[in-house]
Homo-oligomer: A and B are copies of this chain.
Amino acid sequence: MLDTQLILAANQDFYRAFEQQDLEAMATIWSKGTDCLCIHPGRPALRGWEQIQMAWEQIFQNTERFRISTSIITAQVSGDLGYVVLVEQITQMIQGREVTIQSMGTNIFENMSGSWYLVHHHGSPIMPPASRPGQQPG
């Protein structure tokens, strides 16, 4: 398989673990390096697997069910690094109420000993045009 296909497969594994609320699968997907980072929409970065795992645990505890669909924008690989940029459509069932949000995701993978691991996840909300402030860069 091409490296691009391998990181797309790793990317799919990540969203499957997310949708199935499978913390054990998450643990096999993420790098355990102290430098791995996770940014959930609207939040600052979590650093290192311990913090990242705790946040997923909390997310999974607070949600009855997820339905996730993704739309890949690009996937690129060079050497031992690769990244996927995509639109995430996430439906959450919380206390019997369904909420759907769209977000942008950037996922960076690193090849370690022949396998690709997630080293960085950056998710950010896509706000509806009406609620966006004027062009706000960053």
Asked if A115 is at the interface (CB within 8 A of a chain B CB), the reply is no
A45 to B86: give the CA distance in the assembly, Å: 9
User: Which residue from B47, B78, B88, B137 sits with its C-beta under 8 Å from A59?
Assistant: B137
User: Which residue from B92, B101, B122 sits with its C-beta under 8 Å from A104?
Assistant: B122
| Count of interface residues, chain A, beta-carbon cutoff 8 Å | 54
User: Which residue from B47, B56, B85 sits with its C-beta under 8 Å from A37?
Assistant: B85
Asked if A55 is at the interface (CB within 8 A of a chain B CB), the reply is yes
Min Cβ gap A51→B in Å is 13
Pairs A–B under 8 Å by Cβ, sample size 6 = A39-B104, A45-B87, A76-B110, A78-B79, A79-B79, A124-B125
